[in-house]
Amino acid sequence: MKYVLLICDDEVDAPTNEQLAADPVHTAWLDDLDRRGGVISMGRLRPVVDATTIRVRDGETLISDGPFAETKDFVGGFLMVECADLDEAVEIAAGHPYAQRGSVEIRPVWE
């Protein structure tokens, strides 16, 4: 099954790319992904200050700054991965450093 993992935190004291690359939890997570295989696509997202949200209402396109939802945690990265089942996706999610500082949401993909 395909899952998207939405990797979230509140962006307070977010690590830089360099800090993340040096984080042993993060490198262990990447190594684990390598061993499992099945990664379809992944990426870290720039912070929400760079986000733009689009809504079309009554045929009019509304463009606004920032993320759509006023939540505490923002999506900061994503991973699309092929897993045997939800339990494997949970294992991958639990290994990401952001699971400790923020949260990781697992969403099965329509197939």
Instruction: Write the CB contacts of 108 (distance below 8 Å, at least 6 apart in sequence).
Output: 1, 2, 3, 86
Cα-trace Rg, the chain: 16
Q: For residue 90, state whether it binds other proteins (rule: CB under 8 A).
A: yes
Residue 25's H or E segment, with its range, is helix 24-36
- The interface region with other proteins, picked from 6-14, 50-58, 63-71, 86-94 by CB under 8 A, is 86-94
Q: For residue 40, state whether it binds other proteins (rule: CB under 8 A).
A: no
Half-sphere exposure of 104 (CA within 13 A, CB side): 21
Q: For residue 108, state whether it binds other proteins (rule: CB under 8 A).
A: yes
Nearer to other proteins, 10 or 105 (CB): 105
- The interface region with other proteins, picked from 15-23, 28-36, 70-78, 81-89 by CB under 8 A, is 81-89
Q: For residue 86, state whether it binds other proteins (rule: CB under 8 A).
A: yes
Q: Return d(Cα 101, Cα 9) in angstroms, integer.
A: 7
Which residues form the interface with other proteins (CB under 8 A)?
1, 3, 83-87, 89-90, 106, 108
